[in-house]
């Protein structure tokens, strides 16, 4: 009876409030505040394969086996300032589109689902209790234009998912002090130079001796997370972990760099 009533309600919904999925553009038939169909949501899968035990990068071919697990070449050469980073899924397909719905179209209900995804990754990593959750801050001009910080929205949703795990959300201690140019197309070294001095800790007493979970929507090279972690550690944080919804793999990062170069040169092409 309950399934029949649900089906009837959804059919009535599709007739009275016609709408399309914001990802595949097919008509929506389910009642939801998130305008994405079940098929697109069902296409979102966790990140799989061998992952770097430090930065979470997907590894291909040969890699170095460290004490804590496999390491990518970059983390073997120089350990990141954060202890470990995890992401729910690869930055592609429906997951990328869902992040964009929140980030660029202001579809706030997407944050609840993204926070749920992040919660699964953090629980699997075993970091659930006693964390201070800090979202990566946006530049003030960008926040005013967008009206919100997507990392903060995801962090709030994540904390609600965690419930009674003694997690504290802190949104003012870490601040961005200056604008930076777009990171797209920059090398790892250029990203680090671009971000140097862009963040500061305004309330050291709120992070001293604490384990920090730094939250963002997407990780590419880890430069932003690394710089934030460096600043937090200098302010007295005990250790910093990083959680993002999505992780851009090396192939994806290379494709983004190629696309940026093609646009700069006025040409188009495929990797």
**Under 8 Å between Cβ of 240 and 81:** yes
**Distance between CA atoms of residues 81 and 78, nearest Å:** 9
Taking the CA atoms of the chain, what radius of gyration do you get in angstroms? 20
Q: Specify the pLDDT at position 231.
A: 97
Output b/e per residue, 73-95; b: 16+ Cβ within 10 A: ebbeeeebbbbbbbbbbbbbebb
Q: For 192-216, what is each residue's pLDDT tens digit? A: 788 888 999 999 999 999 999 999 9
Q: Is 12's pLDDT higher than 60?
A: no
Query: Does 156 have pLDDT greater than 90?
Result: yes
What distance in Å separates the CA atoms of residue 271 and residue 172, rounded to the nearest whole number?
41
pLDDT reported for residue 57: 92
What's the start-to-end Cα distance of the chain, in Å?
A: 52
pLDDT value of residue 171: 95
pLDDT band at 81 (very low <50, low <70, confident <90, very high): very high
Q: Has residue 189 got a pLDDT over 60?
A: yes
Mean of per-residue pLDDT scores for the chain: 85
Q: How would you list the strands of the sheet with 239-247, edge to edge?
A: 84-90, 239-247, 211-219, 132-135, 168-169
Q: Which domains does the chain have, with CATH numbers?
A: 1-42 (no CATH), 52-264 (3.40.50.2020)
Whether 53 contacts 71, CB under 8 Å: yes
pLDDT of res. 193: 82
Region of 209 please: left (phi>0), alpha (psi -120 to 50) or beta.
left
pLDDT at 271: 32
Neighbours of 184 (CB within 10 A): 14
């Amino acid at each position: 009876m309950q399934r029949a009533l649900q089906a009837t309600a959804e059919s009535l919904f599709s007739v009275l409030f016609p709408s399309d999925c914001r990802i595949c553009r097919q008509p929506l038939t389910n009642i939801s505040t998130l305008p994405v169909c079940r098929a697109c949501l069902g296409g979102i899968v966790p990140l799989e394969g061998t992952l770097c035990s430090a930065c979470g990068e997907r590894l291909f071919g040969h890699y170095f086996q460290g004490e804590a697990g496999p390491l990518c070449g970059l983390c073997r050469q120089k350990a990141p300032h954060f202890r470990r980073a995890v992401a729910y899924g690869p930055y592609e397909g429906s997951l990328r589109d869902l992040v964009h719905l929140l980030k660029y179209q202001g579809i706030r209900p997407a944050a609840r689902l993204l926070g749920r995804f992040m919660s699964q990754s953090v629980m699997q990593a075993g970091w659930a209790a006693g964390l201070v959750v800090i979202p990566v801050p946006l530049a003030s001009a960008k926040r005013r234009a967008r009206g919100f910080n997507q990392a903060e929205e995801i962090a709030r949703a994540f904390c609600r998912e965690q419930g009674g795990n003694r997690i504290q959300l802190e949104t003012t201690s870490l601040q961005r002090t200056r604008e930076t140019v777009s990171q797209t197309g920059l090398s790892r070294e250029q990203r680090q130079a671009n971000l140097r001095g862009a963040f500061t800790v305004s309330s050291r007493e709120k992070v001293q001796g604490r384990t920090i979970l730094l939250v963002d929507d997407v990780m590419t090279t880890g430069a932003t997370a690394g710089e934030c972690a460096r600043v937090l550690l200098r302010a007295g944080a005990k250790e910093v972990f990083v959680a993002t919804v999505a992780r851009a793999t090396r192939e994806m990062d290379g494709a983004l760099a190629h696309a940026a170069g093609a646009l700069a040169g006025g040409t188009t092409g495929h990797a």
